[in-house]
């Protein structure tokens, strides 16, 4: 008679063994096919937006990639907190800075963030040649581009809107006029939306031309700052020469002054222009509106065209 020593031992160890042990089995389930839902293009696009948006703040990536976005976000919100503290402590009637002015005031920081986030979104996919994996899925190339545009726009908007929310909350806590503050806050948010969309199209276009992230960062910073300083100095020169009418038109020449003038014309009143006066909503302001919309559309179009060529 054959007795298996293993069987004997396990039976000894567990008197009621056979049934109790019989339930605990390791199954080799082999390959399981998938018969669940396939949600297609729109789901892929939504997932890509979510993934890219998280990536823009370093979420879901290594700890090292979280440092800079979080540091910049802190620097971005710090002045807002100080302003709120000062306003409440000294019983001011209004915040030291208007909502729409805040983003313009903090533009160097926003610019740095945009320069950091845009290459993170597209250059890495180009550098590691991950794009063929996206394009060999149901997504079309236009889906990829619109998803990236949407994700960066939302990221920049969140980056700009967070301090505004702090200001607004502080203003309400400090019992400033709720109606004035609400109007100003909404104007600030609207400005942030336009700012975010314009800058995301511009920065993604620049970043999509280089697989090297460092180059992308440098190029975006250059495109945001060099024209800004050029336009601003030119404005001052022209202003000092006495032709203040030309100041408005020169403001169209850089993304920074463009946003400043646009907000001045439609969302508030003041600008950082030498005159301190905003372009008239009907006159030069219209040019600001058209250039803002046109530049955004042009950059998006070029970005779409760029991705018809690269990435397979």
Partner 1 sequence: MTVIVTEGLSKRYPGVTALDRLTVNIGPGVTGLVGANGAGKSTLIKLLLGLAPATEGTSRVLGKDSAVDGSAIRAQVGYMPEHDCLPPDVPATEFVVHMARMSGLPRTAARERTADTLRHVGLYEARYRPIGGYSTGMKQRVKLAQALVHDPQLVLLDEPTNGLDPAGRDEMLALIRRVHTDFGISVLVTSHLLGELERTSDHIVVIDGGKLLRSESIGGFTQSTTTLAVEVTDSDRHPNGAEAVHEALTAAGLTAQRDAGQLVLVELAPGAEGDAGYDTVRDTIADMGLGLVRMEQRRHRIAEVFAERVDAAPAAPAAPEGPTTPADPTTPEGPADPAEVPAQAPTPAAQEGADGRAH
Classify 3 as helix, strand or coil: coil
Verify binding: residue 214, partner 1, rule CB under 8 A: no
Q: What is the DSSP letter of 1?
A: -
Residue 34 binds partner 1, judged by CB under 8 A: yes
Q: Output the six-digit token pair for 154.
A: 């939302």
Query: If we measure between CA atoms, which residue out of 283, 271, 295 comes closest to residue 245?
Result: 283
- Position among 40, 178, 245, 276 found at the interface with partner 1 (CB under 8 A): 40
Give the alpha-carbon dihedral of 159, 160, 165, 166, to 10 degrees. 80
H-helix segments, 14-106: 17-23, 40-56, 63-89, 99-105
At 213, list the tokens. 């992230």
Please say which residue, 44 or 264, places its beta carbon nearer to partner 1: 44
Of 278, 279, 161, 299, which Cα lies nearest the Cα of 224?
Answer: 299
Smallest distance from partner 1 to CB 49, Å: 11
CB of residue 312 vs partner 1: minimum separation in angstroms?
Answer: 5
Q: Which is nearer to partner 1, 39 or 183 (CB)?
A: 39
Letters for 113-132 (x = contact with partner 1 by CB under 8 A, - = none) are -----------xx--xxx-x
Based on the shown chain and the rule CB under 8 A, indicate whether residue 139 belongs to the binding site for partner 1: yes
Cα gap 280→267, rounded to integer Å: 11
39 binds partner 1 (CB under 8 A): yes
Can residue 66 be called a binding residue for partner 1 (CB under 8 A)?
Answer: no
Residues 41-60 that bind partner 1 (CB under 8 A): 41, 43-44, 47-48, 51, 60
Residues that bind partner 1 (CB under 8 A): 30-34, 36-41, 43-44, 47-48, 51, 60-62, 65, 124-125, 128-130, 132-140, 312
């Amino acid at each position: 008679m054959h007795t298996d020593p293993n069987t004997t031992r396990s039976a000894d160890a567990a008197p009621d063994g056979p049934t109790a042990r019989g339930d605990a089995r390791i199954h080799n389930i082999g390959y399981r096919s998938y018969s669940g839902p396939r949600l297609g293009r729109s789901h892929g696009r939504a997932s890509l937006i979510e993934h890219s948006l998280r990536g823009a703040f370093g979420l879901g990536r290594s700890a090292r990639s979280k440092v800079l976005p979080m540091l910049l976000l802190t620097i971005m919100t710090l002045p807002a907190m100080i302003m709120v503290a000062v306003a409440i402590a000294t019983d001011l009637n209004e915040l030291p800075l208007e909502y729409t002015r805040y983003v313009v005031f903090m533009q160097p920081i926003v610019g740095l963030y945009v320069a950091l986030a845009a290459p993170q979104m597209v250059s890495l996919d180009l550098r590691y040649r991950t794009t063929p994996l996206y394009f060999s899925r149901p997504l079309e190339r236009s889906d990829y581009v619109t998803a990236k545009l949407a994700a960066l726009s939302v990221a920049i908007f969140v980056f700009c809107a967070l301090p505004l929310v702090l200001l607004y909350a502080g203003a309400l806590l400090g019992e400033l006029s709720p109606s004035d503050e609400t109007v100003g806050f909404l104007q600030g948010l609207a400005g942030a939306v336009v700012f975010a969309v314009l800058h995301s199209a511009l920065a993604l276009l620049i970043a999509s031309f280089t697989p090297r992230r460092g180059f992308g960062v440098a190029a975006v910073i250059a495109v945001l700052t060099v024209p800004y300083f050029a336009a601003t100095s030119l404005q001052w020169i022209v202003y000092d020469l006495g032709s203040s009418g030309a100041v408005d038109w020169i403001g169209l020449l850089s993304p920074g002054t463009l946003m400043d003038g646009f907000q001045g014309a439609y969302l508030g009143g003041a600008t950082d222009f030498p005159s301190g006066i905003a372009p008239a909503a009907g006159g030069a302001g219209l040019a600001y509106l058209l250039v803002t919309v046109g530049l955004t559309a042009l950059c998006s179009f070029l970005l779409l065209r760029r991705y018809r060529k690269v990435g397979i």
